[in-house]
Amino acid sequence: MDLAQRYTNVGVIGAAGKMGSGIALLLTHEMALRKTSPGAREERFKLTLMDVNDEALDGLKGYLRSQMRRLAEKSTVRLRAHYADRPDLVENGEIIQAYVDDALDLARFTTDLDQLAGCRLVFEAIAENIDLKVKIYKQVKKLAPEAFIFTNTSSIPIRLLDEQAGLGGGLVGFHFYNPPAVQRLLELITSPTTRDDLVADAQQIAKDLKKKVIPASDIAGFIGNGHFIRDGLYGIAEMEKLRGDYGFAGGTYMVNRVCQDWLIRPMGIFQLIDYVGVDVFQCILGVMNQFIEGEELHSDLIDELMKRGVRGGQNPDGSQKDGFFRYEKGQISAVYDLDKGDYQPIAAAWSDRFDKALGGLPDGHFPWRALSRDTSKTAKLEGYFGNLAKAEGLGARLGRDYLKRSKEIGEQLVSSGVAAKAEDVNGVLLNGFFHLYGPINDYA
Amino acid sequence: MKLRKKVYIAAGTYTISLGTGRKEFHPRKPRPGLEHYIIEAGQGVLAQVSDPRVIDECVVGNFMAARFNRQGNLAALMPTIHPSLEYKPSTRVEGACGSGGLAVMTAMKSILADLSDVVLVIGIEVQNTVKAIYGADVLAGAGHYASHRKNGHAYFFPSFFSDRAGAAFKKYGHDEVRRAMTQWFVNAIEAGRRCPEAQEHHNRVEDLHALGNTPPNPTAFVDNLNVFDCSKVSDGAAGLLVLSEEGLAKAGIAKKDAVEIVGCGTSVANLTELPADPTTLATSRSAVEKAYGMAGVSVKDLAFAEVHDCFSITGILMAEAAGICAQGEGFDFVSDGGTRPDGRLPMNLSGGLIGHGHYTGGTGVRQTVDNWKQLTGKAGDFQLEIPANRPHGLVISMGGNDKTVVVFVAKQA
Ligand SMILES: NC(=O)c1ccc[n+]([C@@H]2O[C@H](COP(=O)([O-])OP(=O)(O)OC[C@H]3O[C@@H](n4cnc5c(N)ncnc54)[C@H](O)[C@@H]3O)[C@@H](O)[C@H]2O)c1
């Protein structure tokens, strides 16, 4: 079956979730473009958006309607040609509305997995749970024997899922980054048993959805989480070392700052864990620990936080939930103190002591935001990291160690075969995590 | 044809041109509406006269308030400026982006017909009410809907001028034309920075040439223009008085604070047709010739020109339409700095449509105010020294794709 045929009947499982809704949007747009493109009018297109959460499906409908309008507004130059044969549609406004209607008309919202019968492409984005995923795949296999399945798993080996569900190589890892509609990066995970025609289709679909593909080997955590999880564990270990002198809250604050300011990253490591979710971090950690040998991938602290209900992640409106930090209008306002079981507000009177202990930033420092838009950032980074290498003070020392560890992790991903080459590791961190430089660099 | 009596312009003013680029602009916050701008510009004019009651009549130039703001009957908003305007005559005129020029012209006709001595003219557009992609629909009304809209581009007007740029690329060479377009953009921004009300007044971009040279993105916009070649979406209004000799006295305005319109010209071309030669602005040229003829001047008598540059390419073709350079020579002229404040013929000293902003139906009034400012020494940081042997200023107000054009030649009264 060629890909054009496959595109006519597509399903998303877990469509109302964080990742599923973004994937649903990308597919709605791509399928609506195909449906309305000149010459394709006769074909029937069907996109089945399935989730067990009925209420969340209502939210998905609203999300698709508003986001499809936004996409249509951006694509109007092209869409005018799609509706050239419709004399009743003249103005941009009329064409945009017609496209949004056509797009939503091809989507069906359901809580019933049986509705996926006959699907030719299935995208799965349910919880990161091996047994649940396997169970669902088995059902899909019955309902839609021809379907290729694309899983958004963050960490679970593809081959294991494929074999347990008896898919015969019909599963591929299609790892979007959050939010899928915005983030360009996609990790494509194949195992030696993945069907060649599926790999070719997956490459093409990624291209259709305007994603930048980086291939990763089928080793738990892949590249993105392979780096992030280890980087997070290192941050936790560094914090534990500071905890004696500066307390839990102080140590957390300091390590996070080192990561954000001395390493010029978009956010510190603990803010990133909050963003991803302490729960998600724990879950991925668990999966990786199960499949990766010779490495202790575990954190008592993460388990303890989860026990206390400190989970991070986002509210349905996109605002950040409490985790290592508490947030006000997206900005860190307080830090969790494990010893007190409460949040410590971050005011100058409190944080001065830790800022002093870290010392000043090396010369030539620029904040991440300013550098991210700077066309001469490479030269500026070189200058800055040159200074960091010679700088004194606790912050500089912690920063240098952090850089070194991050590089080690990157190199380990290459040497263990997760990534084919250093550029792939760097590409994931640059595109998926918005770092300004890859972990495998000459700065460390 | 000669004017049968003297007509003066005075008491000019304009609001800021609000839109992206201005610090005051927040896309998601509520913004002032039509009413605000009419009052601000109107009262700015009244503040310059001895007594508001001397105003005999109002004219308001506006393009598409009926769609941008769902408001018609703008003429009857004039009494919100001052109670004394209640029960006075008032007219709204429309000629697309040339509405402002037409409004000034309409006021002149009232003076020449001895119907009024003091006419208050307001030009206004408030168009940030819709996103640019929908604004393109509204502005497309300046072209012919029945014959061109359905097969037209999403960005309807930019695409007309992109085609003109494309024709110029073919005829004169891509690089030469592109260089001039970029230089036009750079000049516009630098001039806008000098004018406090200009939309680009807060622009701090260091490398304007690099920005101006951004490659076009045909999948998102048009083939031959980048977004910097285009004037932006603006909210704003300008106001002025058109007066007779008696009117100046009644309003208590000294001659030194007024300019005299010594020539004017208006031309339209068939809206249903596309230009025969996309590399010329033939309608603009025809109106310019009328105005020069009436004033008995030539391009050698001009100190500066204030022209309609909805796009960078338009500005350059305007230099040719105004006879400032021969056809085909506008590109090198602009690239070599001929239109900069220290060039042979400075153009658009407050930024033009690209640097100052383009509140479409109000722009012609804004241009006329800038002409008045220059000639009466009120232009502040963008003031030019007006040479005694070249005392004239030129205004070209254009609507649509060179379809409705109004031209004025003025000198200090
Ligand atoms: N959140 C991220 O940053 C991120 C990034 C990359 C990959 N992932 C992976 O994507 C997957 C989904 O993650 P998420 O963050 O979107 O989770 P989520 O909890 O937001 O969404 C999961 C959705 O699946 C639905 N669901 C649960 N069980 C179901 C079932 N049996 N049938 C149908 N729907 C069911 C839930 O109702 C929910 O709407 C996971 O495998 C995760 O590891 C997440």
What contacts A306, CB < 8 A, 6 or more positions away? A278, A279, A282
Whole-number Å distance between alpha carbons of A432 and A173: 16
For chain A, the maximum distance between any two Cα atoms, rounded to a whole number of angstroms, is: 75
Judged by CB atoms closer than 8 Å, whether chains meet at B219 and A87 is answered as no
Q: Is residue B116 in a domain?
A: yes
- Atom of ligand 1 at shortest range from CA of A128: 41
Q: Is residue B194 in a domain?
A: no
Could you give the 3-state DSSP secondary structure of residue B329?
A: coil
Partner residues linked to A230 by β-bridges: none
pLDDT bucket at A252, cuts 50 / 70 / 90: very high
Whole-number Å distance between alpha carbons of B50 and B407: 30
A80 close contact with B: CB closer than 8 A: yes
Locus of tokens 């004039």: B78
- Residues of A in Cβ contact (< 8 Å) with B219: 77-78
Q: Quote the tokens at residue A168.
A: 């015969």
Whole-number Å distance between alpha carbons of B98 and B88: 25
Contact A72, A117 (CB under 8 A): no
Contact B142, B401 (CB under 8 A): yes
Q: How far is ligand 1, taken at its centre, from the CA of residue A126, in Å?
A: 3
Interface test with B, best of A92, A96, A97 (most B CBs within 10 A): A92
Q: Is residue B387 in a domain?
A: no
Q: How far is ligand 1, taken at its centre, from the CA of residue A14, in Å?
A: 6
- Residues of A in Cβ contact (< 8 Å) with B148: none
- Residues of A in Cβ contact (< 8 Å) with B131: 73
Contact B198, B176 (CB under 8 A): no
- Atom of ligand 1 at shortest range from CA of A133: 31
Contact A150, A172 (CB under 8 A): yes
Whole-number Å distance between alpha carbons of B168 and B385: 34
What contacts A208, CB < 8 A, 6 or more positions away? A30
Which string of b and e fits B185-200 if b means at least 16 CB within 10 Å?
A: bbbbbbbbbbbebbbb
What contacts A237, CB < 8 A, 6 or more positions away? none
The one-letter code for the residue type at B372 is W
Q: Which of B177, B174, B173, B183 lies closest to B210 in space, CA to CA?
A: B183
A90-109 residues touching B, CB cutoff 8 A: 90-93, 96
How much is the average pLDDT of A239-252? Answer: 97
User: What string of DSSP letters covers B105-164?
Assistant: HHHHHHHHTTS-SEEEEEEEEE-TTS-HHHHHHHHGGGS-IIIIITTS-SSHHHHHHHHH
Q: Which of B283, B273, B278, B277 lies closest to B147 in space, CA to CA?
A: B273
Whole-number Å distance between alpha carbons of A124 and A150: 6
Omega prior to A316 cis, within 30 of 0: no
Whole-number Å distance between alpha carbons of B204 and A291: 54
Q: Quote the tokens at residue A318.
A: 């996109």
Q: How far is ligand 1, taken at its centre, from the CA of residue A294, in Å?
A: 29
Which CATH number do you get for residue B117?
Answer: 3.40.47.10
- Atom of ligand 1 at shortest range from CA of A151: 41
Judged by CB atoms closer than 8 Å, whether chains meet at A77 and B137 is answered as no
- Atom of ligand 1 at shortest range from CA of A153: 41
- Report the 10 Å Cβ neighbour count for A161: 22
B196-235 residues touching A, CB cutoff 8 A: 218-221
Considering only alpha carbons, which residue of chain A is nearest residue B207? A375
- Atom of ligand 1 at shortest range from CA of A132: 31
Three-state secondary structure of B212-223 = HCCCCCCCCCCC
Q: Quote the tokens at residue B201.
A: 């007044």
What contacts B19, CB < 8 A, 6 or more positions away? B25, B128, B199, B232, B233, B234, B235, B357
Judged by CB atoms closer than 8 Å, whether chains meet at B219 and A78 is answered as yes
How far apart are the CA of A2 and the nearest CA of chain B, in angstroms?
Answer: 27
Contact A383, A390 (CB under 8 A): no
How much is the average pLDDT of B18-46? Answer: 97
Q: Quote the tokens at residue B129.
A: 């009410």
Residue B295's region, left for phi above 0, alpha for psi from -120 to 50, else beta, is alpha
pLDDT bucket at A317, cuts 50 / 70 / 90: confident
Sign of the alpha-carbon torsion through B22, B27, B29, B33? positive
- Residues of A in Cβ contact (< 8 Å) with B150: 87, 90
Could you give the 3-state DSSP secondary structure of residue A11?
A: strand
Q: Which of B291, B304, B328, B326 lies closest to B176 in space, CA to CA?
A: B328
pLDDT bucket at A13, cuts 50 / 70 / 90: very high
Q: How far is ligand 1, taken at its centre, from the CA of residue A255, in Å?
A: 30
Q: Quote the tokens at residue A308.
A: 């206390």
Q: Quote the tokens at residue A236.
A: 């936790």
Residue B382 per-residue DSSP state: G
- Report the 10 Å Cβ neighbour count for A120: 19
Contact B70, B367 (CB under 8 A): no
Judged by CB atoms closer than 8 Å, whether chains meet at A93 and B137 is answered as yes
Supply φ then ψ for residue B96, to 5 degrees: 55, -135
Q: Quote the tokens at residue A392.
A: 């004194």
- pLDDT by residue (tens digit) across A356-381? 999 999 999 999 999 998 889 999 99
* Residue A199 buriedness (CB in 10 A; 0-12 / 13-18 / 19+): middle
pTM, rounded to two decimals: 0.91
- pLDDT by residue (tens digit) across B70-104? 999 999 999 999 999 999 999 999 999 999 999 99
Residue A314 per-residue DSSP state: B
How much is the average pLDDT of B18-45? Answer: 97
Element housing B397 (H / E): strand B392-399
Q: Is the CB of A126 under 6 A from ligand 1?
A: yes
Whole-number Å distance between alpha carbons of B60 and A383: 59
Interface test with A, best of B133, B148, B155 (most A CBs within 10 A): B133
B155 close contact with A: CB closer than 8 A: yes
Q: Is the CB of A135 under 6 A from ligand 1?
A: no
Specify the pLDDT at position A296: 92
How much is the average pLDDT of B225-251? Answer: 98
Take atom 19 of ligand 1 and give the residue whose Cα is closest.
A17
What contacts A332, CB < 8 A, 6 or more positions away? A271, A325, A326, A346
- pLDDT by residue (tens digit) across B326-365? 999 999 999 999 999 999 999 999 999 999 999 999 999 9
- Residues of B in Cβ contact (< 8 Å) with A96: 133
Whole-number Å distance between alpha carbons of B199 and B216: 23
Q: Quote the tokens at residue B221.
A: 């916009």
Average pLDDT over chain A, rounded to whole? 96
Residue-number span of the structural domain to which B122 is assigned: 7-131+233-256
Supply φ then ψ for residue A429, to 5 degrees: -70, -35
Q: Is residue B39 in a domain?
A: yes
- pLDDT by residue (tens digit) across B148-181? 999 999 999 999 999 999 999 999 999 999 999 9
pLDDT bucket at A249, cuts 50 / 70 / 90: very high
Q: Is the CB of A282 under 6 A from ligand 1?
A: no
Q: Is the CB of A426 under 6 A from ligand 1?
A: no
Whole-number Å distance between alpha carbons of B342 and B339: 8
Considering only alpha carbons, which residue of chain B is nearest residue A86? B150
Q: What distances in angstroms separate CA A196 from CA A79, A168, A193, A210, one per listed residue?
A: 34, 12, 9, 21
Whole-number Å distance between alpha carbons of A132 and A134: 5
Whole-number Å distance between alpha carbons of B47 and B33: 21
Judged by CB atoms closer than 8 Å, whether chains meet at A90 and B145 is answered as yes
Considering only alpha carbons, which residue of chain A is nearest residue B151? A84
What contacts A70, CB < 8 A, 6 or more positions away? none
Q: What distances in angstroms separate CA B291 from CA B34, B94, B115, B297, one per listed residue?
A: 32, 21, 23, 9
- Residues of A in Cβ contact (< 8 Å) with B218: 77
B154 close contact with A: CB closer than 8 A: yes
- pLDDT by residue (tens digit) across A261-272? 999 999 999 999
Specify the pLDDT at position A43: 83
Judged by CB atoms closer than 8 Å, whether chains meet at A92 and B150 is answered as no
- Residues of A in Cβ contact (< 8 Å) with B143: none
Contact B372, B259 (CB under 8 A): yes
Q: Is residue B147 in a domain?
A: no
Q: Is the pLDDT of residue A89 over 70?
A: yes
Whole-number Å distance between alpha carbons of A273 and A279: 9
How far apart are the CA of A317 and the nearest CA of chain B, in angstroms?
Answer: 18
A367 close contact with B: CB closer than 8 A: no
Q: Percentage of chain B surpassing pLDDT 70?
A: 100
Q: Quote the tokens at residue A364.
A: 């030539």
- Residues of A in Cβ contact (< 8 Å) with B220: 74, 77
- Indicate the number of domains in chain B: 1
Q: Which of B365, B360, B405, B396 lies closest to B97 in space, CA to CA?
A: B360
Specify the pLDDT at position A41: 63
* Residue B372 buriedness (CB in 10 A; 0-12 / 13-18 / 19+): buried
Q: How far is ligand 1, taken at its centre, from the CA of residue A121, in Å?
A: 18
Locus of tokens 């391009």: B299
Q: Is residue B100 in a domain?
A: yes
Q: Is residue B105 in a domain?
A: yes
Q: Is the CB of A178 under 6 A from ligand 1?
A: yes
Average pLDDT over chain B, rounded to whole? 98
> Ligand 1 pocket: which of A12, A23, A48, A51 to mutate (most atoms <8 Å of CB)?
A51
Prediction ipTM score: 0.93
Q: Is residue B63 in a domain?
A: yes
Alpha-helix residue ranges (DSSP H) falling in A166-277 = 196-208, 224-257, 269-276
